Amino acid sequence: VNALFRSFNMSKFPVERIRNFSIIAHIDHGKSTLADRLLELTGAIATTDKNKQVLDKLQVERERGITVKAQTASLFYKYQGQTYLLNLIDTPGHVDFSYEVSRSISACQGVLLIVDANQGIQAQTVANFYLAFEAQLTIIPVINKIDLKNADPERVEKQIEKVFDIPTEECIRISAKLGTNVEQVLQEVVKRLPPPTFKKEDPFKALVFDSNFDHYRGVVANIALFGGYLSKGDRIISAYLGKSYEVNELVVYKQTLVVAGVTDFYPECACWHLSPGMYPMDQSDYSALRSAVEKLTLNDSSVTVQRDSSLALGAGWRLGFLGLLHMEVFNQRLEQEYNASVIVTAPTVPYKAILSSAKLIKHGKEEITIVNPAQFPDRSVVKEYLEPMVMGTIITPDDYIGKIMSICLNRRAVQKNMVYIDDHRVMMKYLFPLNEIVVDFYDLLKSMSSGYASFDYEDAGYQPAHVIKMDILLNGKPVEELTTIVHKDRAYSAGKAMCERLQDAIPRQMFEIAVQAAIGSKVIARETIKAYKKNVLAKCYGGDITRKMKLLKKQAEGKKKMRYIGTVQVPKDAFINVLKRKDK
């Protein structure tokens, strides 16, 4: 294999012996483990017990035990006397990283759909199947973990046939951990998947499906070729921006797909669901943080970036993420890879406001998108507010239907469908307001179902809603970074819950802190953080009571003065924790 890579000439390799495919599945169904076995079988890496999630290269992936970035690998496989080039892409399984899956699928002709033999079809399995189905890709179902004690591959095959209309005989039963039947997967990839449909005589046409920043090469773009050919020194033009680039280097690695070195790249962004503010801990670090964000967004183009500023935190950005885990992973990568120290404010979802005709000139358009809650327009200039909706898919054992229906109802969800996919598992469809699920719904669902339920969602447009802006005041001063948009019917309970969580999150000071939630000028909830108090009477062993009263009065006046001139320090994790709530 090493000799093949050293002598490999892409320009002379027959197109009909190339296979491009992705590995897709629900989280923890064994995608990365299968990728390890494929790399071992084809000789790309040595066979050893230390090969665990070889393609999970990021520190955050190792720490969390999940895949957050789609990783590519090129493999040579000999079948019936012919050498085939297999370009595989290992994709994430979590719903927050579904954009990585859709980008990877666009560069492939087929997919391996992995399903756990114990858990069966889950929500993300369904979502990923339809991504591949709508892209008209060849789908090879693979039932993994058949070595488990409670594995039931026959039941899973029936689920696949019922939900996806794929015959049971097309399923491949494997154990990626033990390597059982993995060789058959490679054979089926060669036999079932079609080669790329392009001719070298056609004009050059390629898709950049991933990119990253290399400290030695600069910007490195992963491309899928759809026509023509490419050589070092060629100039290529971006169809998106119309800019021209020079190809500095073309490489095929054992663990990297064909890579073209270009000088700059701006991909089209995904539709984000969550928008927090991000600011440097020290404004002197602004330039360094800007450079770090630019390099990291090059590797994760689903993140949108917009300049923002705050009176309290200074200059920063308003970022767009696909979910809370996506946001946490991005922040963790900033800290680990670039040593950046940031403050992240409470995230919000993108609301819309339809303006009344008398105010159109000021904004220049009838409909505006509200990214920052502090810029929420007054009701007097708005005809109606719109909130984003999503269609959620929940797959759960039928023992937990009652509990799950209860939490969905509590999140203002509307049930659209419910079907049994086998004797004991149910697939439910709910229409959710996006704001009700992005922060903590997934954790709550797992808790209510003992970890057995799975959840996925897709955009479902906007609907009219009675939403209002709720301010948080600390000692009477509004904290712009904690301002949120809430549904009118939930304002009181949401305000009370946020005040209680802030009371727990903000450490006690030398002065009393009043935590208030307000709508306009009306305070709807309040909690008080008591001040540290020194015992000023300790030195008084007797004497007249007026002496003690005088000392207590003097202390109270000092505390009152500190309350007006003191600065309340809010921990940076409080901005996220205040949004999480416990449903009963």
Q: Would the annotation count 477 as a binding residue?
A: no
Q: Would the annotation count 507 as a binding residue?
A: no
Q: Would the annotation count 203 as a binding residue?
A: no
Q: Would the annotation count 32 as a binding residue?
A: yes
Q: Would the annotation count 487 as a binding residue?
A: no
Q: Would the annotation count 146 as a binding residue?
A: yes
| d(C-alpha 212, C-alpha 337), whole Å | 13
Q: Would the annotation count 291 as a binding residue?
A: no
Q: Would the annotation count 454 as a binding residue?
A: no
Burial class (CB in 10 A: 0-12, 13-18, 19+), 220: buried
What is the phi/psi pair of residue 299, to 5°? Answer: -90, -15
Count of positions (residues) in the chain: 584
Q: Would the annotation count 93 as a binding residue?
A: yes
Cα separations in angstroms, 282 against 289, 332, 347, 426:
10, 18, 21, 50
| Tokens 């220049």 belong to residue | 364
Q: Would the annotation count 326 as a binding residue?
A: no
Q: Would the annotation count 83 as a binding residue?
A: no
Spell out a b/e string for 282-321, using b for 16 or more CB atoms within 10 Å of the CB, else e: eeebeeebbebbebbbbbbbbbbbeebebeebeebbbbbb
| Strand intervals (E) in 382-529 | 382-397, 414-420, 425-433, 454-465, 467-474, 477-478, 484-487, 513-519, 522-529
What is the phi/psi pair of residue 42, to 5°? Answer: -90, 0
Q: Would the annotation count 30 as a binding residue?
A: yes
Q: Would the annotation count 461 as a binding residue?
A: no
Q: Would the annotation count 363 as a binding residue?
A: no
| d(C-alpha 489, C-alpha 494), whole Å | 9
Q: Would the annotation count 36 as a binding residue?
A: no
Cα separations in angstroms, 583 against 394, 404, 485:
18, 11, 19
- Coil, strand or helix: which one is 155? helix
Q: Would the annotation count 91 as a binding residue?
A: yes
Q: Would the annotation count 145 as a binding residue?
A: yes
Q: Pick out the residues of the known binding site for GTP.
A: 25-32, 90-94, 144-147
Q: Pick out the residues of the known binding site.
A: 25-32, 90-94, 144-147
